[in-house]
């Protein structure tokens, strides 16, 4: 079992399984359904860690500012390597989006 230490600002890639009649240009591992009406495929989503939640979860932020909580042990979540950070730099959220979410969070 692999465990990573995540920190706010880390760039991560999450692999999402989707199903639709027309896969997009970034779809991979495309499989047609039994009767060819739909396709099942996976798409990589490029997100940023916004905060740690508990012992084994992270809250991530998308490029459009949506947040999602994901388990650190989720096999679909992985840290972006230097090559992915360079190659897909336009698909990751900007560091300013992380600052705007922390500024919008209520203070206790």
pLDDT in tens, 64-94: 889 999 999 999 999 999 999 999 888 998 8
pLDDT digits (tens, 9 = 90+) for 35-56: 889 999 999 999 999 999 888 8
DSSP state letters, the chain: -------TT-EEEEEEEEEESS--TT-EEEEE-TTSS-EEEEEEEEEEEEEEETTTEEEEE-TTS-EEEEETT-TTEEE--HHHHHHTTTTSPPHHHHHHHHHHSPP-
pTM of the model: 0.80
């Amino acid at each position: 079992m692999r465990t990573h230490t995540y920190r706010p600002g880390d760039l991560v890639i999450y692999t999402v399984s989707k199903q639709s009649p027309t896969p997009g240009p970034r779809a991979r591992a495309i499989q047609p359904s039994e009767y060819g009406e739909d396709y099942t495929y996976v798409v990589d989503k490029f997100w940023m860690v916004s905060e740690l939640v508990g012992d084994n979860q992270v809250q991530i932020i998308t490029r459009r500012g949506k947040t999602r909580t994901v388990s650190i042990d989720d096999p679909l979540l992985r840290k972006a390597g230097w090559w992915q950070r360079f190659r897909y730099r336009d698909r990751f959220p900007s560091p300013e989006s992380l600052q705007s979410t922390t500024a919008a969070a209520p203070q206790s």
